[in-house]
Amino acid sequence: MQLKVEIDPGSGFCYGVIRAVEKAELRLKREKQLFSLGAIVHNNSELDRLRKIGLEVIDLERMRNLKDTTVLIRAHGEPPEIYRIARQRNIELIDCTCPVVLKLQEKIRTTYRQYCTGEGKGQIVIFGKTGHAEVNGLIGQVNSDAVIVDTTVPEKGEKADFTGLDELDFTRPIYLFSQTTKDPDEYGRIGNIIQERIRLHGSNPENLVIHNTICRQVAQRHENLTEFAKKHSILLFVSGKESSNGKVLYELCKSVNRRSYHIQTTAQIRPEWFHEEDLVGICGATSTPKWQLEGVAAYLETLSRQPINFQ
């Protein structure tokens, strides 16, 4: 029995990750080894592939002890401190910071200089995951003088709440930004909550300035993936456990199609998931390579030719 399988044409690496991987591969054609400050992508399968051709992931402590070498800055971006260390240690940087992230960093720096110093100063608020590489780079632009607001993990049947809001002074101006890969709907909900709290404090509604900083490619993926999930009877969502974007997009798929399964490798696929005549959709995060999605499709084609009693 043949399963019908379709790969989501909009899934796969985003532009920033593609650019970083290509630059790493290009350098490794000339040199045997290249250091990457942090994982170039949150996908173990792709990291294993790059490790085999010479990419070595290092942390900040290791970088502080390097000298006269080359280090790749991944698409997530880094705080100014990293560039100072590189100059002090004579480290060449291959800067692969995504252009969208670079623009966001500059916007946060400019806003901070103009509106968040002196009497009655405003507050920088970032909707993002605490400890995430991109968020670390963003708060580093303002010496960590920013409040991070994040989505909580809801209990079954409950709606997600937000952490960090209690740290805000709703009588002072608030400048709201988002990590580029966050959920646009959740970002809109945070804006509404802050606006309501400003109103309850009797403050000027214009005290809140919301900056549209979610990557357009990511925002479109939310819309397209919703339609893709609706079209298929079962979904296999492929991404690494550490992918922040992967968690968000999988939850989106699950909300639209209850038969959605989050996998990292084909070894996690179970034949009992499938029904006869299923139309299987395969999709992934911005950190999921196309070759991995194609590998899942090939595995399903092999699986469907085996004598299995589908449910």
The one catalytic residue in 25, 61, 78, 134 is 134
Q: What residue spans of the chain are helical by DSSP H?
A: 15-30, 44-52, 60-64, 80-88, 99-115, 133-140, 184-200, 216-231, 244-256, 290-304
In this structure, the chain runs to a length of 311
Instruction: Report angle CA 238, 224, 311 to the nearest 5 degrees.
Output: 50
Is 134 annotated in the active site? yes
Tokens matching residue 259: 């038969």
Per-residue HEC secondary structure of 105-159 comes to HHHHHHHHHHHCCCCCCCEEEEECCCCCHHHHHHHHCCCCCCEEEEECCCCCCCC
Q: Under DSSP, is residue 71 helix (H, G, I), strand (E, B) or coil?
A: strand
Query: Which amino acids are annotated catalytic?
Result: 134
